[in-house]
C-alpha cells in the first residue's frame, strides 16, 4: 500500500511539473506572440490547450493581434498617403518636435533650404535662419496670437517672404507626443509686386501732378485776370494749357497701353513676314522730320535675314518708340540707322535703331527700360516724353518671347536692339 502511494505521489508530482512547465511554455509563447505582434500557433494539441484552460485566451489574443495588424496596415497606408501628399505640395512643409528638431520635411523645403537633401534631425532655427520665424514660433508656444504671420528668411543674400501657419499634430517619432506642422507659403513675388505697385503709383501721381498744376495755374490766371491780360499773353497761356493737356493725354494713353500689354488683353496676330518692308515704311514716315540735308535715315538689312513671325502693328509701335526717342534725345544726329541681321546660333533676327548722337552714360543703360526713368529728366519733360515708351517696348518684345537691350558710347552713339525668335526656315528673303 505504501509503495502504491509512493508511486502515485511520484506520478502526480511528475504530471504537475509537466503541467506547470507546459503552462509556462504556453504563456511564454503567448507573451512572445503579443510582443512580436504575430498570431500564436501553439505546438501543443487542442486537448492539451483545453486542459490548461487557455484556448479562449489564445483565440482572443490572436483575434486582437489580427485586428491590430489590420489597423496598423491601414494606418501605415494612410500615413504614407499623407506623407506623399505633403511631399508633393508646393508650399514649404516642415514637422518638428517640442525641441524644434525636424522630423519631416517635404521636397519644397529641402530644395529651398538644404540643397534637396533631407532635413530630418536638423533644428528649425539652423535650417531656416530667420528672427521673424523664431518670434512667430515663440508667440505660438506662449499662446500669444502673432500680430503678423508674414515672415522673412535670408537665403544667399536674398530676402524671401512667406505667410506662416503652424498647428499641433501627432508626433512622428513618438505617437504619444505632440509635434508641430509648419507651413510656409511663398509670397516673395507678391511682396516685390507690392513694392513695384507703390513705386508706380507714386511715379504716376508725380507725373500727373506737374501738367495738372500747370493747366490749373494758367486757367486760373485767365479767369481771374481776364480783363488785364494782353491778347499775346492769352494766346501763350492757352498754348501752355494745350501742350500740357496733350502731355496728359499721351501719359494716359501710354498707361492704358501698358495695362493692356501686362494683362494680355490685346490679341496679338503674329504672321510670318519679312522685316525689310516695315523698316522701309518707318524710314518714309520720318523722312520729313529731318531738320537738315546732312541728316539721313539708313535701312541696312542683311541678305541672310529670313521671314520672321511677329505682329506688324506692335513691332511698328516698337520701332516708332525707338525712332522718336532718337529724334527727341539726339535731334542733331547725322545718321539714323535701322538695321536687321540674322543670328544663326541663337536663331533670332536682331533689329537695331542706332544714332550718332550724344550717347548715354553707362550707369543709366541698365535702367532705360524702367517706367518713368529718364537720363536727363529736365530735358525729357521739355521734349514731351512720358517716360513709358521704352517700358512699352520691353513689354511688346517680351510678349514676342524676345529680348531688348541698349548699348552706347558717350559722346559718339547709342543703339537700342531687340530680338525676334526665328525658326529654322529658308533664308534669302528679307
pLDDT at 297: 92
pLDDT of residue 282: 92
Per-residue pLDDT of 140-191, as tens digits, reads 777 765 545 888 888 777 888 888 888 887 766 566 678 888 888 888 888 8
For residues 193 and 305, the model is more confident at: 305
Q: Which residue has the higher pLDDT, 82 or 403?
A: 403
The gap between the terminal CA atoms of the chain, to the nearest Å, is 132
Polymer length in residues for the chain: 430
pLDDT band at residue 355, thresholds of 50, 70 and 90?
A: very high
pLDDT in tens, 60-84: 677 777 676 665 555 554 455 555 5
Neighbours of 43 (CB within 10 A): 8
Mean pLDDT: which of 17-21, 366-370, 426-430 is highest?
Answer: 366-370
Please, which pLDDT band fits residue 21 given cuts at 50, 70 and 90? low
Pairing mode of beta strands 102-105, 92-96: antiparallel
Across 5-19, 114-128, 303-317, the highest mean pLDDT is recorded for 303-317
Any idea which of 74-78, 133-137, 196-200, 245-249 has the lowest mean pLDDT? 74-78
Domain residue spans of the chain: 2-80, 90-186, 192-263, 271-421
* Mean pLDDT value of segment 327-341: 91
The predicted structure's pLDDT at residue 49: 57
Residue 421 is predicted with a pLDDT of 84
Question: Average pLDDT of 340-365?
Answer: 91
Rounded mean pLDDT of 394-406?
A: 90
pLDDT at 50 over 60: no
pLDDT: which is higher, 382 or 71: 71
Q: What is the mean pLDDT of the chain?
A: 78
Domain 90-186 CATH (choose: 3.40.50.880, 3.40.50.740, 3.40.50.300, 3.30.450.20) = 3.30.450.20
Average pLDDT on 378-398 reads 71
* Region 192-263: CATH code: 1.10.287.130
- Whole-Å CA distances, 283 to 194, 296, 313, 320: 41, 9, 16, 10
Give per-residue pLDDT as tens, 108-138: 888 888 888 888 888 888 888 888 888 888 8
Give the global pTM.
Answer: 0.53
CATH number, domain 271-421: 3.30.565.10
Predicted confidence at residue 112, as pLDDT, reads 83
Rounded Cα distance, 72 and 61, in Å: 16
pLDDT-derived band at 90, boundaries 50, 70, 90 = confident
Amino acid at each position: 500500500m505504501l509503495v502504491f502511494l509512493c508511486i502515485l505521489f511520484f506520478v502526480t508530482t511528475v504530471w504537475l511539473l509537466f503541467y506547470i512547465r507546459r503552462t509556462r511554455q504556453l504563456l511564454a509563447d503567448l507573451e512572445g506572440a503579443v510582443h512580436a505582434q504575430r498570431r500564436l500557433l501553439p505546438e501543443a494539441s487542442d486537448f492539451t490547450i483545453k486542459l490548461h484552460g487557455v484556448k479562449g485566451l489564445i483565440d482572443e489574443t490572436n483575434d486582437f493581434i489580427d485586428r491590430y495588424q489590420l489597423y496598423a496596415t491601414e494606418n501605415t497606408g494612410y500615413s504614407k498617403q499623407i506623407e506623399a501628399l505633403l511631399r508633393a505640395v508646393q508650399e514649404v512643409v516642415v514637422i518638428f518636435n517640442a525641441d524644434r528638431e525636424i522630423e519631416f520635411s517635404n521636397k519644397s523645403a529641402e530644395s529651398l533650404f538644404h540643397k534637396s537633401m533631407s532635413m530630418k534631425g536638423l533644428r528649425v532655427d539652423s535650417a531656416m535662419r530667420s528672427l521673424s520665424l523664431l518670434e512667430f514660433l515663440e508667440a505660438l508656444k506662449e499662446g500669444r496670437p502673432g500680430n503678423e504671420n508674414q515672415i522673412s528668411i535670408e537665403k544667399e543674400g536674398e530676402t524671401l517672404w512667406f505667410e506662416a501657419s503652424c498647428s499641433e499634430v501627432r508626433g512622428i517619432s513618438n505617437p504619444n507626443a505632440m509635434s508641430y506642422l509648419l507651413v510656409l507659403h511663398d509670397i516673395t513675388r507678391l511682396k516685390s509686386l507690392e513694392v513695384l505697385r507703390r513705386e508706380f503709383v507714386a511715379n504716376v501721381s508725380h507725373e500727373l501732378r506737374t501738367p495738372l498744376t500747370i493747366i490749373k495755374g494758367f486757367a486760373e490766371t485767365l479767369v481771374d485776370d481776364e480783363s488785364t491780360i494782353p491778347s499775346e499773353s492769352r494766346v501763350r497761356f492757352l498754348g501752355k494749357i494745350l501742350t500740357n493737356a496733350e502731355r496728359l493725354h499721351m501719359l494716359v494713353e501710354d498707361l492704358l497701353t501698358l495695362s493692356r500689354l501686362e494683362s494680355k488683353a490685346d490679341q496679338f496676330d503674329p504672321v510670318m513676314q519679312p522685316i525689310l518692308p516695315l523698316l522701309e515704311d518707318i524710314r518714309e514716315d520720318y523722312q520729313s522730320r529731318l531738320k537738315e540735308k546732312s541728316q539721313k535715315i539708313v535701312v541696312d538689312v542683311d541678305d541672310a535675314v529670313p521671314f520672321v513671325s511677329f505682329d506688324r502693328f506692335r513691332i511698328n509701335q516698337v520701332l516708332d518708340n525707338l525712332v522718336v526717342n532718337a529724334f527727341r534725345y539726339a535731334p542733331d544726329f547725322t545718321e539714323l540707322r535701322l538695321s536687321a541681321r540674322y543670328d544663326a546660333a541663337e536663331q533670332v533676327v536682331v533689329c537695331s535703331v542706332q544714332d550718332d548722337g550724344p550717347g548715354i552714360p553707362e550707369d543709366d543703360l541698365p535702367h532705360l527700360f524702367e517706367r518713368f526713368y529718364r537720363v536727363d529728366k529736365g530735358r525729357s519733360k521739355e521734349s514731351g516724353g512720358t517716360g513709358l515708351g521704352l517700358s512699352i517696348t520691353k513689354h511688346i518684345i517680351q510678349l514676342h518671347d524676345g529680348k531688348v537691350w541698349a548699348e552706347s558710347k558717350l559722346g559718339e552713339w547709342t543703339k537700342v536692339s531687340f530680338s525676334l525668335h526665328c525658326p529654322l526656315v529658308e533664308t534669302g528673303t528679307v
